[in-house]
Amino acid sequence: MKRENLNIILSLLFIFGSLILFNLILRKLILRIDLTEDRIYTLSNSTKKILSELDDIVTVKAYFSKKLPPNLVPVRREVEDILEEYRTYSKGKLRFEFTDPAENKELEGKVTRMGIPKIQMNIFEKDKLQVIGGFLGIAIFYKDKREVIPVVESTENIEYEITSRLLKLAKKEEVKIGIMFLSKDKKDFYTIYKDQLSKHYSVREVSPNLIPEDINLLLVLGWKELDKMALYNIDQHIMKGKRCIFLIDPVNITEELQSRALREKDVEFFKNYGIKVDVNLVQDVSHEMAPFMQAGMAFLIPYPYWIKGIRKFFDKNSPIVNKLENVVFPWCSSIDTVSDVLKDKEITFLIKTTPQAWSTKSFYNLFPDPFAKPPEERKQFNISILVNGKFKSYFTSESLPPGVDTTKFLKETKEPVYLAFVSNLKFIEDRILNMYPENILFLLNLCDALGFGKELIEIRSRGKTERPIKNLSDWQKNLFKWGNTFGAAIIVIVLGTLRFVYRERKKLRKG
């Protein structure tokens, strides 16, 4: 009997020991099944690549309070799971720890000075709703540099938040964006985009009269007639191998639906870089509803001037747009390429209209007309183009501005340079971004691609756009309608009939 008891004890010890060993092995592995379309709960290949290229130890300190409201408890657990994945794929170069700053007053002060605030949270305790202070921030340390995520209230975008900061820490050259505002719109109409860019880049405004040397990505918002010196500064910025994004509005529309169009000669400058800007307005059968006021009443009406660019006509191979579902462009013009200039360049047509679009150069009546019919002649237009290659200066065929130091004049780029063109600016206006928040992803992806490279785009765009319900034909609608009405009854009748036939045959065989 004692021998049998000993065998049972040994067997139990073996089982427990095996389970412990199995658990230790699994801790080194990441086993997770992600069935979402964009695999939003799995670390992206971009993150894995960045982690594999770390050349020094990264320390992540998660400053999370132990006492949290029930709705935030899962956030802490999910952050810990995600950091465990980061640690695994970094092969030990990324280390993390969780600390509650409230346990140490000195640490609490240090964390606050880092930029991680003590936030107020509601919690039920002893049948009372109480307001407590707590921390939900993350600090990332790499060499002698530090980046901070002030508050983590959700893990929806946590991979982008962490990886973008890792990339920023590991990048030798800081990405500095210079914003050159040339639109006839009020600058106050455009604030949201700048707040978004400032989260991940060093951003400041620049003038066409002076572009600082440390600006390595120039974002030009709008366009207007510029003097030779201003054009020279932009041109030489490009000749130095610096990247540019141009959001051009050849026809600017006011709140009163008045048009302010540029002259053809005002946009001749872009032909030097292979882009022809059309001074027109494009309409499309794929469009959005726009709000209008009449007799003191607000109403929405289909408005072909508000083009809805859809995924079907985005470049399928470009990570800048291939994960976006749609982008809305209000009062958009068109652009095209100058083949002679771009014959040896890499060209990517990022966004096009549908083939059922049409253009007009008559801007006198922009009010919606529900009875207007599209013209017979329609075609596809380009909205955004990305070019990469070596360019010659605009001033190789133009006289230099007076007072320019000719010894510093650059006639061409030494290395290929990226230039991005979008024939619309309104898509990032605050009012439009509040209506269509997905629009900002397009601009951020452009900045990521030309600033950091393409690594971050894969992460940012995953699971972030809407999934519109596809329109059904009449016969499909009727199929679902009558199927829901009579389908269940028909299935019961068929199953009942089959069962009856089966039982009758069984009786006949027995008889």
Q: How many CA atoms lie within 13 A of 486 on its CB side?
A: 5
Please give the CATH topology (third level) of the domain spanning 174-460: Rossmann fold (3.40.50)
Sorted by where each begins, the domain ranges of the chain are 27-164, 174-460
pLDDT at 457: 63
pLDDT digits (tens, 9 = 90+) for 369-411: 877 888 999 999 999 999 999 999 999 999 999 989 999 999 9
Phi, psi of 471 (to 5 degrees): -70, 135
Regions of the chain where pLDDT drops below 50: 30, 35, 38, 464-465
pLDDT at 33: 54
Other beta carbons within 10 Å of 444: 24
Contact 98, 135 (CB under 8 A): no
pLDDT at 244: 97
CA–CA distances in Å: residue 270 to residues 182, 196, 261, 273, 277: 15, 28, 17, 5, 7
Q: What is the CA radius of gyration of the chain?
A: 30
pLDDT at 96: 95
pLDDT at 127: 65
Residues 6+ apart with CB under 8 A from 384: 321, 335, 349, 350, 351, 420, 421, 422, 423, 442
Is residue 252 within a helix (H) or strand (E), and if so which, with residue range? strand 251-253
pLDDT at 145: 86
pLDDT at 454: 64
Rounded-to-integer distance, Cα 116 and Cα 337, Å: 48
- Picking from 187, 425, 189, 253, the residue whose alpha carbon sits closest to that of residue 327 is 425
What are the DSSP E strand ranges found in 36-125? 58-64, 94-99, 119-125
Contact 352, 282 (CB under 8 A): no
Which residue reads 């230099």 in tokens? Answer: 400
0.85 exceeded by the pTM?
no
pLDDT at 35: 47
pLDDT at 25: 63
Q: Which CATH superfamily is domain 27-164 in?
A: Glutaredoxin (3.40.30.10)
